[in-house]
Amino acid sequence: MGATPPEKRLDFWREDPLMNDHHEHWHLVYPASGRPTPNGVVALGDRHGELFAYMHQQMIARYDAERLSVGLSRVRAFDDYRAEIADGYDPEAWLWNGEEWFLFRARPAGTMIGDLPPRPPDGRPPGWKISEQETYRDRISEAGATGSFVVDAQQIPVEAVNLGDTTEASLGSIDKRRTTYGDFHNMGHVHFAFYDNQPPPGVMISIATAVRDPVFWQWHEHIDSIFRDWQEGQSPYDFSDGPPVKIRKSGDGAIATSPDIILCRKDGLPAEFNGEELGSEAFGYSDDPNQNNWDRDLASTTVTLRNGETVATTDELITEMRERTINLVDSIGNPLPEVIDYLSHDDFFYFLRVENLSDQPQSVTVRIFLAPETEVEDRTSWIEMDKFLYRLEGSERAVIFRPADLSSVVRKPALKPEDLTPDDEPSPRANQQSWCDCGWPYTLLLPRGTEEGMNFRLFVMFSPGDDLMLPEQHAEHCTSVSYCGLQDEEYPDKRHMGYPFGRPFQDGISATVDNRDNIAWRTIRIRCRNR
């Protein structure tokens, strides 16, 4: 039956099968216990702890945007372990435990978590206590505040990776015996799953189902607050190493907007087109003054091409609630078809104008983020939409074409409504299945927005090209490089994950955008056509 009101408004999003698949496969690719490497050693993936924190923070930022779109406040952290859990959840779902199918336990509204008894023969959880969780919480928070872990009287500097590893806690925890900082994040999941100490557990026990429960998001908002508070104590970026490029702005500060951030929906473009050629003709620079569109503000207009076809730009992206059938299972594992509501959106494309201020060629990293208009000064509200490399010729005035379905955050290939099946079959690359199925669903790339249109701020930043270390054949990779990295390779972005939003802004976000030639933004609407 899902969550109790008002959280039930977001059942469609938390229950989305592909979003649940992403969370499950992220943890399969990045297990807390490590994975075998090509040389046979069990180890964590590159920057595991930092990615654990960042990927879940991004999930929360997306969830917050959905909450605002249905009239709810941003998610509140569950940080008082002796408080009632206001929201109930009844999954009505089965899980295979290797021997039999069992039904997850429902949790009524107003329940509390408590101490867990010692593990008896019937398989209930081990004896973890709420007081222990409180101690571990306080110690991890203190480590973040002071910048040092203390283990066996030794001080260890807190860094992004070891903070994430210790909070999770993974193989990389600085507390190998789990006696100082505990098994904090993982233990919390078990407490929620066995809230009344009775089997079977709730959905919080499984990486395949945990995100369905509203308390998952409250718990991870609490986990994220530990990481966020540590980030707040770090020195702000100074952005002095930005590349010599210019993306134009009009207006000042918070109201600054960019004519160089151009959006098109699929229905506004010709049936067949070459993106680079179309962008250059419709929006680019030409020595012929009759064909030079470089200085025109084309944010929401129609441009006629030389062949008579038209290009419609837009300040509004469109989402849509759809229905499809998925196959669940009954108590003996038989398919049980069920019709579900799910969110999708119309295909859209970025056209970004940028001028190379250097007479030398250079590569740049293009970073695109999105945030609700009301939250733009809160760095934790920014949702990563894409990042990719682009090469500029010397003094070039370029129009960069980028389809949204190539986004660095989505699972590849992008699964669109016409690609979805009742069983949501895994990637055909069976030898890379978990890794290939790790990535945000393309259908959930955009927040739903509202029927009348909800305002969001679209942010574009150009950073140095050597930030992004992608192999020659990176286009063939079948995963989200932002959320899941590259298989058996270093995480491809050498910056802190979430850059530039992973640190406080010395002068605020609006002033930073206003004062940097390599950063710009504009306000757009996201409208759900059948809310």
Q: Which residues are paired to 19 by β-bridges?
A: none
Tens of each residue's pLDDT in the chain, 531 residues: 689 999 999 999 999 999 999 999 999 999 999 988 778 788 999 999 999 999 999 999 999 999 999 999 999 999 999 999 999 999 987 666 666 667 888 999 999 999 987 765 554 456 689 999 999 999 999 999 899 999 988 999 999 999 999 999 999 999 999 999 999 999 999 999 999 888 889 999 999 999 999 999 999 999 999 999 999 999 999 999 999 999 999 865 556 789 999 999 999 999 999 999 999 999 999 988 888 999 999 988 999 999 999 999 999 999 999 999 988 777 666 778 889 999 999 999 999 999 999 999 999 999 999 999 999 999 999 999 999 999 999 999 999 999 999 999 999 889 999 999 888 765 554 445 678 889 999 999 999 999 999 999 999 999 999 999 886 555 556 889 999 998 888 999 999 999 999 999 999 999 999 999 999 999 999 999 997
Question: Rg of the chain's alpha carbons, rounded to an integer?
Answer: 24
Question: Residue 461's closest CA among 235, 198, 249, 224?
Answer: 249
CB distance 19 to 340 below 8 Å: no
CB distance 508 to 453 below 8 Å: no
Question: Residue 183's closest CA among 163, 169, 171, 204?
Answer: 169
Q: Which residues are paired to 459 by β-bridges?
A: 369, 521
The length of the chain, given as a count of residues: 531
As a whole number of angstroms, the distance between CA 79 and CA 351 comes to 43
DSSP string, 4-28: PTTGGGGHHHHT-HHHHHHHHHHHH
Q: Buried b vs exposed e over 507-516: b needs ≥16 C-beta within 10 Å?
A: eebbebbbeb
At residue 313, the 3 state secondary structure works out as coil
Q: What's phi and psi for 459, nearest 5 deg? A: -115, 135
As a whole number of angstroms, the distance between CA 435 and CA 426 comes to 10
